[in-house]
Each structure stands twice: as structure tokens, then as C-alpha cells.
Amino acid sequence: MGEHICIFLYLKLLPTFCIFFCPVFPNLGNRETHKALIKNKILLQWEKCLFENVHNTFYEETIVEVLRKLDTVYDPRSTFYTKDVFLVGEKGAGKTMVMKVVLLQWTHGDIWKDVISYIVHLTSHEINQMSESSLVELISKEWPSGQAPVADILSDSQKLLFILEDMDNVDASLNVDESALCSDSRKHVPVSVLLSSLFKRKMAPGSLFLISLRPDGKAAVTASMKKNYCITLKFSDEKRKKYFALFFKDSQKAARALKLVQENDMFVNLCQVPVSCWITCVALNRQVEMGGEGKLSCQTLTDLYAHFLANTLTSGAGMTTSQCRRTLLERLCLLALEGLWHDTLHFTDGDLRSVGLTKADVSALKALRILLPSSNCTDHHTFVHLKIQEFCAAVGYMMLLSECQIPSANKKYPERRERYNDFSPITTSIFGLLNEKRRKILETSIGCNLLTGELKKYFLQKMKYVGDHPKTVEHHTPLFYCLFENQDEEFVKQIMDSFLEVTIYIQENKDLMVSLYCLEHCRLLQKLKLSVQCIFENKEPHISKMRSLVYWRDLCNLLHTKENLKELEICNSDFDDTSERVLCKALTHGSCHLQTLKLSYLSVGTRFEDVFRAIVYNPNLKFLSLNCVPHSLKMFSLLGEVLENPVLCICQYQIPNPSIPTIFTLC
């Protein structure tokens, strides 16, 4: 596998030679010509040294692991033999990098030797540009004048590999009726029919597929293929540790930065892919370089992104004056805001010019790695990560920017991934920037002023209305993320004073973390509704499970520290033995003033008996509602004890059986 590692040295040296020598292949056979064409295409697209050598060094091990699997999976003699392979990973996980290295390795004969003769490589962007096509046209698209040796390629289709990138971004439906499938490789058909016909092997029978996609798009694509092999690009704690070590080149500095990330579930959730780790490392770099044993000041994502922009925009060549930095930031933020407003994540040169970005500006932003060449749209640029575009849009919303409309706003059909409908991350960042300390990170380093006064008034008025009309929101978790980013104690208390009733949905540790923070500041809380799912499952590493229980314990403690809290409803939730005991301990606390308890659709570790015991020992309970909860003979015995409570006025119980919908009311 040494050749696999050497590919990175090769990538640094060969592009220049390839540009000059690859376009014409007069004396090569069909297969060698095809390999030369693919090599030329990949090397011309390669984003050279975008993240210095950190990414390349890090990817060496990651890609070697994947290459080992890919090298054997298409071999009929292999235990894992299959014709359909899926490469699954989040945005920035390295799927495109893997595809390019795989293609180059194949052109060198280091992989799939005698297994694959030809490869058809397509990105989702290329597929989305087609309304209809034929198999012959797909095969011929990379060949000079479209003159591909189609007969030779299709003569042994079992050695033909289709590499399809970002299939979850393809607009064409794969739900095509069997009768509409086509077997004629020359016939022009709708792209949906063409893809489905290839997947079902009506065309190119026996052909192979390597498909990359994100996890949330996997089900729709894999449904078209019965037997497949899935390779998931995961980012373990060990890999995160390795990345930080490579970036900081000093074990103590890396450990200090990594400790901050590991102690904050928002940061752990962010650092799931290499590019997010790079953003985090850049943001923390100056604080880490200053040394000392003091705690790093980043607490929220707003902190992190503000430090990232401040550190990059003040380190670039030519960024010597605050006027230069401010102008560049204004143009960058206008681009981000207009892009999200008009469903644009990949920008043309015209888009960049329309917001005032000059060639020098673009060169500077590329050198700072804030903007990058798009990996799937030729002659386009994109932000280093969607999170940075969203944060820049939030900053732009708080600046006085001139109005403009980017040319891409006029496109009729944005690609699936570019359809931007959820503006909550922008709102969350705006809340974060309302905190003076976080705002000053940018204002001091860049020399800009962000507008805050009217926004604070607006949010306070809006939250007062929501508090007075609880049914206007389904749940409060998105708001809690906003307030967690803000961290201004008085402002958070003012907002939370608007709410007597709160509903939260908890599915991740970070949901628990932000909910706990906000509920601790909710001084007038009377009614709490909870849905807790998935967080108490067996987790790796163990520390994640421990953190879940710590958050859960602190949240349950509110049941006896919030004097006004009189009603608790827990629905659609699952608990293990430990989390159930934590809840029961809070319910039996002498200072628990709950008068109403509603429990529905719960899964618990002890079949609910501990919860019932807790109810028996709660002297203040006046109303108990049990809807579709686990039951047993022991539970009914405990129910009898509950009914002996002289304070309890009403007890409702619905048997967890869909065939018995009646609610029994016991008074």
C-alpha cells in the first residue's frame, strides 16, 4: 500500500506536466487513452493544497483504509464481493477526495487491475444539467469529439464501473415503473429512466457502481439496489485527536485545544469532519499560541466563528488597515446573505463581482481559504463550509449593506442541496452576536460596527407575544439554541420571563445542554413538557453517555428547585434504568411541588415500577394521567397504592393496546 501514500507527492508534482502533455494521445490504445483522459480531468480539477499539508497528511491514513476495502470489493473472489458500493459521509467528510484518489490510483494500475477496464465518472451537478440522455452519450462525454469506442466498452460491461458523486443531490426521481425502463443504449430517455435502467441492469448488464452520498439520502438510492456494500467515512475521537496534533504540531497545544472541544457538545457535534476541525483549529490558534494555562475563551459556536473570521481576515497579506478588512468583510457578508436568500451555495464570477468583490479580493479570500473552488461546479466558488456562509450572512444582517442581487438569483431550478429553507442557524448566530463580548471579537479586529439595539427590542417583543400565545410554537428548542449562543444572563432572563409553559424535544446531548441552560434561567416556569429520545442508548465513547446523565440529572433537579413548577408532562420518551432512577429521585424529593403529572408513550428500564413507586411517595400530586405506558401485575398493585393517596383527585389510565382506546378515569 506504499504506492497509495505516495499519491500525494505525485499530486504535488504532476499537474503541471499533465496540463501540457495529456490532451492528445495519438499512439495509445483505447483503454490507455481512456485512463489518460481521466487522469487529465482529475488533475485539472484538483484543489491543490487548500489546507496546507494538514489535510493531505491526515487523509493519507483515512484514504488508505478505504482503498483497501475498494481494492477487493469488486473482485468476484472476495468475501465482500458486490457490484454496488456506497461511500457515505457528511459534507466535508472526504468523499470527493476519496473518489479522485481512487480514479488516479486506477489510472496508474494500482487498483482494480484486470477487474475494471473503463470508468464513467459523473457528478450530481453534471447529471442535473441533463434533461435526457443515452448511455452512449454518457460514455462518450469525456472523449475528444465524443468519439468513444462504445462497442469495446460495452462488449464486457462487467468491467465497466460507473462512479456517481453526490447522488443524494440528483433531482431526477429513481422511482420509475418497471415498464418504463430502457435496454437500448443508443436511445435518448429522461435521466430518471436512464439511471433507473442502469441501476436495474437493463442497460450494461453486470456493470459496477461506486456511489457517494450523504447519510440522509442513502435510503432513497439504496432502495434501487438490492445487494450493496456500504463504506461509511466516520470521524472518531481518535481521528479528531490526530487532526489536532497535525495542525498544532505541538502535543500540549493540541491537547489544550482538543480539551475545549471535548468538554462542549456543540463543538463535538461540529468537529465531525476534517474541514470543520480545520475551522475550529484556525479559530483557536491565536489563543493556543499565546500559551499559558488559562481556559480558552470560546464557549459557543458564535465565539468560534467570530474568532475564525477575525483570525483569517487579520492575517492575510494586504489586510493592514481596518478599512481594507471592513470592506472585504462587508462584501463577503453580502455574498453570503444574497446566496442563502436566493438558494445559491456555488457562486459564479458574476456573483462575486455583483457584490463588489474584485479579483484581488477573491485571491485574498482563496488564500485565506474562506472561499474555495467548487468541487462539483466548474468555474464556481463556494464558502469553505455552509456554517461559515451562514455566520457571514448573520453578520451581514447586522450591518448596513447596499442592496444588490446576484446573477445566480435568476436561475430557475436550484439543485437540491442549494434549496435553502432553514434560516434558524442565521437567527441563532444573530442572537450570539447580540452578546457584546462576542460582538467585540469582530468589531475590534475588523473595525466594523454591528447594529444591536433595535434587534434586542424586536426579539423581546416577539418572545413576549409567543409567551402569551403558547400554541404559536410547537416547541421551544430552536429558541433555546439562540439563547444559549447569546449567554447574556440578563437578556436570557428577560426572554425566559415571557414563558410560563415550555415544551422541549431532546434527541442529542447538545439539546439537553441548551435546554438545561435556558430552563435554569426560566424563573416563572409553571408547566414543562418533555420528549426525550435516543440519548440514553449505549454510546461510544462512554464519556458521551456520562455527559447525558449529568445533564439529565441537572434538568431533573429543576423539579424541586423551581418553586412555581406545578405540571410535568413526559411523552414519546425512552429511558434506561439509570436515567429512570434519576427521574424518580427528583419526583420523590421533599421540595418537589408538582401537582400534575402526565406520562404517555414511555419506554423505561424497569417496566415503569420505579416511576410508580416515586408517584406513591409524592405527597403533592393531585392529577395523574397515564397513557400507553408499560404495565404489569406489580404496576397495578402500585396503582392501588397511588389511589389511596388522599390528595390525588383524578387518575387517568389508558391501557397500551391500540384495540382498547378507552381511558379509565379513577377519582
pLDDT digits (tens, 9 = 90+) for 227-244: 788 998 888 889 999 999
Predicted local confidence at residue 659, as pLDDT: 47
Predicted local confidence at residue 483, as pLDDT: 97
Range scoring the smallest mean pLDDT among 14-18, 206-210, 357-361, 421-425: 14-18
DSSP string covering 302-342: HHHHHHHHHHHHTTSTT--SHHHHHHHHHHHHHHHHHHHHT
Per-residue pLDDT band at 245 (split at 50, 70, 90):
very high
Q: Which residue has the higher pLDDT, 562 or 648?
A: 562
Phi-psi region at 456: left, alpha or beta (left = phi > 0; alpha = psi -120 to 50): alpha
In percent, the amount of the chain with pLDDT more than 90 equals: 52
Q: Which residue has the higher pLDDT, 415 or 476?
A: 476
Q: Which residue has the higher pLDDT, 135 or 379?
A: 135
State the chain's mean pLDDT as an integer. Answer: 85
Q: Are 582 and 549 in contact (CB under 8 A)?
A: yes
Q: Are 372 and 385 in contact (CB under 8 A)?
A: no
Q: What is the mean pLDDT of residues 193-201?
A: 94
Predicted local confidence at residue 616, as pLDDT: 79
Per-residue pLDDT band at 181 (split at 50, 70, 90):
very high
Per-residue pLDDT band at 453 (split at 50, 70, 90):
confident
Phi, psi of 449 (to 5 degrees): -125, 125
Give the HSE-up count for residue 277: Cα atoms under 13 Å, Cβ half-sphere.
27
Amino acid in the structure at residue 272? Q
Q: What is the mean pLDDT of residues 632-654?
A: 71
Statement: the pTM of the whole predicted model exceeds 0.85:
yes
Q: Residue 201 corresponds to which cell in the numbers above? A: 441492469
Q: For 315-330, what is each residue's pLDDT tens digit?
A: 866 666 788 899 999 9
Q: What is the mean pLDDT of residues 381-386?
A: 94
Q: What is the mean pLDDT of residues 76-90?
A: 89
Predicted local confidence at residue 18, as pLDDT: 42
DSSP 8-state symbol, 205: T
Predicted local confidence at residue 540, as pLDDT: 60
Question: Is the predicted pLDDT of residue 21 greater than 50, yes or no?
Answer: no
Predicted local confidence at residue 655, as pLDDT: 61
C-alpha torsion sign, points 454, 457, 462, 463: positive
Q: For 592-619, what is each residue's pLDDT tens digit?
A: 999 999 988 888 765 677 887 888 788 8
Q: Which CATH superfamily is domain 477-666 in?
A: Ribonuclease Inhibitor (3.80.10.10)
**Rounded Cα gap, residues 3 and 85, in angstroms:** 23
In percent, the amount of the chain with pLDDT more than 70 equals: 86
Predicted local confidence at residue 664, as pLDDT: 41
**Rounded Cα gap, residues 446 and 15, in angstroms:** 37
Per-residue pLDDT band at 653 (split at 50, 70, 90):
low
Q: Which CATH architecture has domain 2-232?
A: 3-Layer(aba) Sandwich (3.40)
Q: What is the mean pLDDT of residues 381-388?
A: 95
Range scoring the smallest mean pLDDT among 48-57, 138-147, 194-203: 48-57
Per-residue pLDDT band at 345 (split at 50, 70, 90):
very high
Residue 567 pairs with which residues in a beta bridge?
A: 527, 596
Nearest C-alpha neighbor of 88 from the set 224, 235, 233: 233
Q: Which long-range contacts (CB under 8 A, 24 or more apart) does 139-142 make?
A: 142/37, 142/38, 142/41
**Rounded Cα gap, residues 657 and 175, in angstroms:** 36
Predicted local confidence at residue 23, as pLDDT: 47
Predicted local confidence at residue 319, as pLDDT: 66
Per-residue pLDDT band at 294 (split at 50, 70, 90):
low
Predicted local confidence at residue 606, as pLDDT: 57
Amino acid in the structure at residue 47? E
CB contact burial 407-435 (16+ within 10 A = b; e otherwise) = ebbeeeebbebbebeeeebbbbbbbbbbb
Give the HSE-up count for residue 10: Cα atoms under 13 Å, Cβ half-sphere.
17
Beta-sheet strands, E only, within 56-147: 84-88, 118-123, 132-133
Q: What is the mean pLDDT of residues 629-640?
A: 73
Q: What is the mean pLDDT of residues 399-423?
A: 82
Range scoring the smallest mean pLDDT among 48-52, 207-211, 286-290, 548-552: 48-52
Q: What is the mean pLDDT of residues 553-582?
A: 94
Predicted local confidence at residue 433, as pLDDT: 97
Predicted local confidence at residue 144, as pLDDT: 83
**Rounded Cα gap, residues 629 and 617, in angstroms:** 19
Predicted local confidence at residue 660, as pLDDT: 41
Predicted local confidence at residue 654, as pLDDT: 67
Predicted local confidence at residue 517, as pLDDT: 97
Q: Which residue has the higher pLDDT, 50 or 462?
A: 462
Predicted local confidence at residue 366, as pLDDT: 92
Nearest C-alpha neighbor of 275 from the set 408, 391, 370, 377: 370
Question: Is the predicted pLDDT of residue 533 greater than 50, yes or no?
Answer: yes
Residue 626 pairs with which residues in a beta bridge?
A: 599, 653
Predicted local confidence at residue 186, as pLDDT: 94
Predicted local confidence at residue 431, as pLDDT: 97
CB contact burial 3-42 (16+ within 10 A = b; e otherwise) = ebeebbeebeebbeebeeebeebeeeeeeebbbbbbbbbb
Predicted local confidence at residue 51, as pLDDT: 60
Domain residue spans of the chain: 2-232, 238-427, 477-666
Question: Is the predicted pLDDT of residue 627 greater than 60, yes or no?
Answer: yes
Predicted local confidence at residue 36, as pLDDT: 85
